[in-house]
Chains A and B, each alone.
Chain A
């Protein structure tokens, strides 16, 4: 089952495209990491999925419906925006009441349990919470409405490393417990490595690569050997990045086939290498080739 499907999706602000030619299928039941440099279009993609933005071209379908098309669609998708906004002059308790009144599927018990677990004072105005507590409150609202898909835009950006780890752990527990699909953006690769099993890399408004993390790791290889021209590689080995020294050449390739050339020293790649290679070489390969099935 596909929880998010985009076809030729694009979003234009004035004259500049924040997202173009986006073809995407995100399967249900995954925690998908949306990664890319600042300004790559991560927030735009999430905004489009939540129905906060209207596409300039193409279509997007989320949980089988058009984003933001009605109360039923809104109930299926939870969205925690960047900077995790909350009403500064409403108390924590009033936020829960807000959630209960505005969501037919509201899980009040879940919300109250979470607030108690996090240790938020229900009588405290949300404006007086710390950044981490605010993020937790916003996430609580997102989870307790019991969506099918939870979209998180840089949820941990404002948190210190400890709070970040706790937040993500907490998120993982909620995901495991309620079977919700998650798409979260971040430019912190280490965070994604810990929680994501699906990956979308976005660079310069385009999708560079997408796929399941395990599959991506098993189809990418680092080849090290004597200095040579990479144009001579077999056709089924797509070059992601190349680095030459005086005597050596290191290539990161994607291929389904085993590496037969004995002159290469073949190595595994980790998620961080893979992401950085794609982010650093935005023009290696075509976007259409970036889709790994």
Chain B
């Protein structure tokens, strides 16, 4: 059975790994020097997209057809009537396909993480996001191993349910994309309890004020304090004296915004503005910060990998369960 599964997977496998080798060579040759950044923007964005896309592509173009092609051409009738149970048939296919997909996406993730290391290290002042933030987290570290394993088995599970290649591909893509959007916002923040801090609002801690245009000039809406370097900030919000989250700053600081044209705002004007807003502290207002510090990047990566591998295991169990009813 291994021979047959290998025979069916070897061409897609060889082509994907050859493309990966090519990408790796390009990245090795172009790794930015720490400090001396050039025009790495294209490769930075491109490699990030590649790590995002590869697990989905493997699920859609490896996982789905591995099942639907047999069902659509009727060859499952042939192979299930050799002296091999369909459980073993699926077991071998998954045993070969899941590691192949996970290693492909995982290696790409590691190479890209290494390539972007100097840029990630200087995140913040270089204009790049910290690697722990949702936009970048999934394109770094070891989590891509889990994404690809999950996407592959998801493709197989959808194929077993839907049975038709094109439909199964579309469903797999939509479901996987939905999971990849939902996890960073609904699940990942809670994998570890975030660090909670209450920060006094002083002229030194205020990082910025968000204002909305009103009938009599701009009205201050929200206030942010300085955030820890390289952290993934979940909340940076003002609490009133009762501890409730403020959605609109009180009218008493309404006049704090500088009434000068943008061009004339200088450090002195800003300092005066900050001092003005710092009066909130005297009124009992304070700032609430919730965040995952930069040092949590690897713990969160391991937890995310574990989460996806557990989901993969669950989907695998589902596949074997449904397989008995497939015909």
Question: Which residue among A52, A82, A90 has the maximum number of chain B CB atoms within 10 Å of its CB?
Answer: A52
Of A50, A74, A87, which is within 8 A of B83 by CB? A74
A16 within 8 A of partner (CB): no
Q: Given A53-B327, A71-B84, answer yes or no on A102-B77 (Cβ-Cβ < 8 Å).
A: no
Tell whether, in the assembled complex, residue A74 and residue B81 are in contact, meaning their CB atoms are under 8 Å apart: yes
Q: Chain A contacts of B79 at CB under 8 A?
A: 98, 102
Minimum CB distance partner of B77 in chain A? A81
CB of A60, distance to nearest CB on chain B (Å) = 15
Which A residues, 124 to 144, have Cβ-Cβ distances below 8 Å to chain B? 138, 141-142
- Kindly state the separation between the CA atoms of A88 and B8 in the bound complex, as whole angstroms: 11
A290 within 8 A of partner (CB): no
B80 within 8 A of partner (CB): yes
Of A68, A72, A102, which is within 8 A of B1 by CB? A102
Which B residues, 160 to 193, have Cβ-Cβ distances below 8 Å to chain A? none
B4 within 8 A of partner (CB): yes
Q: Chain A contacts of B80 at CB under 8 A?
A: 52, 68, 74
- Kindly state the separation between the CA atoms of A74 and B82 in the bound complex, as whole angstroms: 6
Q: Chain A contacts of B78 at CB under 8 A?
A: 81, 85-87, 138, 141
Tell whether, in the assembled complex, residue B77 and residue A79 are in contact, meaning their CB atoms are under 8 Å apart: yes
Tell whether, in the assembled complex, residue B7 and residue A94 are in contact, meaning their CB atoms are under 8 Å apart: yes
Which A residues, 107 to 161, have Cβ-Cβ distances below 8 Å to chain B? 138, 141-142, 145
B210 within 8 A of partner (CB): no
Q: Given A83-B74, A85-B77, answer yes or no on A54-B83 (Cβ-Cβ < 8 Å).
A: no
Tell whether, in the assembled complex, residue A52 and residue B82 are in contact, meaning their CB atoms are under 8 Å apart: no
Tell whether, in the assembled complex, residue B74 and residue A102 are in contact, meaning their CB atoms are under 8 Å apart: no
Q: Given A85-B74, A85-B75, A87-B75, answer yes or no on A101-B81 (Cβ-Cβ < 8 Å).
A: no
Tell whether, in the assembled complex, residue B73 and residue A88 are in contact, meaning their CB atoms are under 8 Å apart: yes
Tell whether, in the assembled complex, residue A102 and residue B75 are in contact, meaning their CB atoms are under 8 Å apart: no
Minimum CB distance partner of B2 in chain A? A101
Q: Chain B contacts of A142 at CB under 8 A?
A: 81
Tell whether, in the assembled complex, residue A104 and residue B4 are in contact, meaning their CB atoms are under 8 Å apart: no
Which A residues, 145 to 192, have Cβ-Cβ distances below 8 Å to chain B? 145
Q: Given A98-B4, A101-B4, A102-B1, answer yes or no on A52-B77 (Cβ-Cβ < 8 Å).
A: yes
- Kindly state the separation between the CA atoms of A77 and B83 in the bound complex, as whole angstroms: 9
Which B residues, 1 to 26, have Cβ-Cβ distances below 8 Å to chain A? 1, 3-4, 7
B85 within 8 A of partner (CB): yes
Q: Chain B contacts of A82 at CB under 8 A?
A: 74
CB of A214, distance to nearest CB on chain B (Å) = 31
Tell whether, in the assembled complex, residue A78 and residue B81 are in contact, meaning their CB atoms are under 8 Å apart: yes
B324 within 8 A of partner (CB): yes
Tell whether, in the assembled complex, residue A97 and residue B74 are in contact, meaning their CB atoms are under 8 Å apart: no
B45 within 8 A of partner (CB): no
Tell whether, in the assembled complex, residue B81 and residue A50 are in contact, meaning their CB atoms are under 8 Å apart: yes
CB of B79, distance to nearest CB on chain A (Å) = 7
Q: Given A90-B7, A98-B4, answer yes or no on A85-B83 (Cβ-Cβ < 8 Å).
A: no
Q: Given A94-B7, A102-B1, answer yes or no on A71-B85 (Cβ-Cβ < 8 Å).
A: yes
Q: Chain A contacts of B86 at CB under 8 A?
A: 68
Q: Chain B contacts of A81 at CB under 8 A?
A: 74, 77-78, 81
Give 6 A-B pairs besides A52-B327, A72-B83, A87-B75 with Cβ atoms closer than 8 angstroms. A53-B327, A77-B81, A81-B78, A90-B7, A98-B4, A141-B78
Sampled A-B contacts (18; CB under 8 Å): A50-B81, A54-B325, A68-B80, A68-B85, A71-B84, A72-B83, A74-B80, A74-B82, A79-B77, A79-B81, A81-B81, A82-B74, A85-B74, A85-B75, A86-B75, A101-B1, A102-B79, A141-B78
Chain A residues within CB distance 8 Å of chain B: 47, 50, 52-54, 68, 70-72, 74-75, 77-83, 85-88, 90, 94, 97-99, 101-105, 138, 141-142, 145
